[in-house]
Amino acid sequence: MDHSGHGEHGMQTDLPPFTLGRGLELSVDPVFLAGCLLGLALYGWAVLRLRRRGDAWPVSRTVFFTVGVLSIALVMCTALNDYGMVMFSVHMVQHMVISMLSPILLLLGAPVTLALRALPPAGRGRTGPRELLLALLHSRYMKIVTHPAFTIPMFIASLYGLYFTPLFDFLMGSRAGHIGMMVHFLAVGLVFFWPIMGVDPGPHRPGYVMRMLELFAGMPFHAFFGIALMMASEPMVRAYADPPASLGISALSDQNAAGGIAWAFSEIPSVLVLIALVFQWYRSEQRQAVRKDRAADRDGDKELEAYNAYLASLQARSR
């Protein structure tokens, strides 16, 4: 793809009309490419370390994490990233994937659990990577940033506080600002979904019903945000108010499309997370039943014996 003609702030002004084929052409962002490769390399190293030790690690978790990293690469290391600088609708696809789909997939890969199992203890009185990770997990900072009183408002503010204020235009004015914004979306998605998914250990461990409530507390705001963009009668974000003529689009129709994407996408993570939660809940109940059966086998089912003795005593009294 030819990116020779750059407008203000390095944005492409000569991009041809958007098609999926053009959007998926390779156009590497070095920061995100390095981050994705590093993430895959560290995860792969940890899995191999467990395997060499003779420990099992579920293949499904490796698949989830890998697909999560690839979903980030898909929106940040292709021409979708170039089109996202000049088309609100494409930017919204990037935002939704990187803040709502990628975090769920990454968290289903249980990277924190894997790190804790793969990193060796530093030894008595010494501090190594494993000890630092444990200290971070138990820190007051982590308790605050994973608490719903923080995560839900932050999740909502990342939409309304960004797009409906001059902050978005400021960040879109430079490459560093754009990268920083995308990293922020990913980070907010991770801290929002981390306690809800409950796969990795963390300071905030709500029950299954509470997790579902946390999930549904944030999602409607995404839908309202999408509806606000769809119903607007004029462009609401200055950065996309004057799209390059080569794209052949109007700012308002592109904004309406962006709103439709934000509205529709809010349902996808809800369904994914609900499926994961119901599955976890079912597995948890199964494990509890197995534990009870084992306990019954060990103590000769004393509970049942005690209950039978109680029934016999009642029968004796009634005679």
Determine the pLDDT at residue 302: 66
User: pLDDT digits over 225-261, tens only?
Assistant: 999 999 988 988 888 999 999 999 999 999 999 999 9
Q: Name which of 38, 130, 106, 49 is nearest 57 in CA terms.
A: 49
Contact by Cβ (8 Å): 44, 84: no
- Regions of the chain with pLDDT less than 70: 1-13, 289, 292-307, 310, 317-319
Positive/negative CA dihedral, 216, 71, 48, 125: negative
User: pLDDT digits over 41-86, tens only?
Assistant: 999 999 999 999 999 999 999 999 999 999 999 999 999 999 999 9
Every domain of the chain and the residues it spans: 20-119+144-318
Determine the pLDDT at residue 115: 93
Phi, psi of 234 (to 5 degrees): -150, 160
Determine the pLDDT at residue 10: 42
Determine the pLDDT at residue 124: 76
